Amino acid sequence: MNSEKEAQIPVTLLTGFLGSGKTTLLKRLLNQPGMADTAVIVNEFGEIGLDHLLVERGDENVVLLDSGCLCCTIANSLGETLSDLWFRRVRGELPAFRRIVIETTGLADPAPILHTLMTDKFVTRHYVIDGIVATVDGINGLEQLNTHAEAVKQAAVADRLLITKTDVAPRQHLDALAARLAVLNPGARLREIAQGRVAAQDIIDIGLFDRTAEPAQTLRWLRDEAHAAAAGHEGSRGHDVNRHDDRIRAYCTYFDFAVSWAGYAAWTTAMRRYPGDKLLRIKGLMRLGDRALPYVVQAVQHVFGEPIRIENWPGNDPRARLVFITHDLDRAIVAESIDVLREAQ
């Protein structure tokens, strides 16, 4: 096993629309002992309001927090910032952080950040995506989903959804929002929180950065059973033209054949022909080449990450399975993409 791969640092992407509670959540998290070895990347220090946590400003881009965490701003690009942090960590100029949290702006499309984490050669060598966490405003979330496409995309690609402000939002409103999110992204774990209170273990270590992860962890990451169950309820969606998520669909498909590397290349090429906004996210497991055990595959829009070899099939089920989160892409198109895999063998 590649020792460099073993040393990869997990990255959590924290996203959510304006006013949804990311700042409050992050301040609470950084005060937890389990987050003391974390480096946080934000767009501006002023946006996150961490003044009460600051000990000293190391330079114009990095500060040390009282909790032991680091906080830094994006200097030029995310790739350059991650590279700078890595080298300063190696040289002993910064504490040896063991994870990264990237906090996006409220209007940010998470896709470009994920593209960097999946395609930048230096970044993929030293860092790996652990999970995507999205905060959703318990009071204004329904309206934001109705009127802002960014809010829909943030929620649709998330692995964890946190409904915030539950201490002040009406119960009926929260239930309606939870039901809406369950249709939009059936595979995401959903939690209700108040005043940013959530245990760090509920939103970190949710991915497959450990190649020897237990099968149960793989199942938690993939959540294919949730997507498969949701497929039978597509008819319950409304057709309000003001709803940006009306055309978001989550599909899950299974197959039991091995995929050659040539077949995998042909499939990724075929999927890249679709515009990025139609293919929001893919994640799943495949048997590639002559290997009996699975590879993790994932994509965001038209960008595919390098397949990651893991050591166990989850749930003693050696079938390949793929989860697709799409926008205005018919299930028949998804089925045709599996035919590409089959025919290329």
In the chain, CATH 3.30.1220.10 covers 215-343
Pick from 21-25, 104-108, 245-249 the range whose average pLDDT is largest.
Answer: 21-25
CA gap 50, 141 in Å, rounded: 25
The 10 Å Cβ neighbour count of residue 171 is 8
Q: Which two tokens stand for residue 172?
A: 């009926």
Instruction: Calculate the alpha carbon distances from 173 to 51, 134, 176, 288 in Å.
Output: 34, 18, 5, 46
pLDDT of residue 210: 67
Lowest mean pLDDT among 32-36, 82-86, 99-103, 181-185: 32-36
Which is nearest to 135 in space by CA: 13, 30, 233, 229? Answer: 13
Fold of 3-202: Rossmann fold (3.40.50)
Q: Report the relative pairing of strands 9-16 and 127-137 from DSSP bridges.
A: parallel
- Name the more confident of 104 and 61: 104
The answer for 289, left when phi > 0, alpha when psi is -120 to 50, beta otherwise, is: left
Q: Report the relative pairing of strands 62-65 and 54-57 from DSSP bridges.
A: antiparallel
Type of residue at 46: G
pLDDT grade for 3, boundaries at 50, 70 and 90 = very low
CA gap 116, 98 in Å, rounded: 19
Burial (CB < 10 A; 0-12, 13-18, 19+), residue 67, is buried
Fold of 215-343: Hypothetical Protein Yjia; Chain: A;domain 2 (3.30.1220)
pLDDT of residue 90: 94
In the chain, CATH 3.40.50.300 covers 3-202
pLDDT grade for 230, boundaries at 50, 70 and 90 = low
pLDDT 10s digits, 261-320: 988 998 898 888 876 778 899 999 999 988 888 999 999 988 999 898 888 888 778 899
pLDDT 10s digits, 18-52: 889 988 898 888 888 888 889 988 876 544 555 44
Q: Which two tokens stand for residue 207?
A: 């991915």
Type of residue at 291: R
Q: Side-chain half-sphere of 328: how many Cα atoms within 13 Å?
A: 9
DSSP for 25-89 reads HHHHHHTSGGGTTEEEEES-HHHHT-GGGEEEE-SSSEEEETTS-EEEE--S-HHHHHHHHHHHH
Largest CA distance in the chain: 60
CA gap 215, 222 in Å, rounded: 11
Instruction: Calculate the alpha carbon distances from 3 to 7, 72, 211, 297 in Å.
Output: 6, 27, 12, 21
Which is nearest to 34 in space by CA: 56, 12, 15? Answer: 12
3-state helix, strand, coil in the chain (%, to 5): 40, 25, 35
Which is nearest to 131 in space by CA: 75, 57, 69, 210? Answer: 210
pLDDT 10s digits, 136-165: 999 999 999 999 988 999 999 999 999 999
SS3 assignment, position 7: coil
> CB–CB of 211/309 below 8 Å?
yes
> CB–CB of 174/138 below 8 Å?
yes
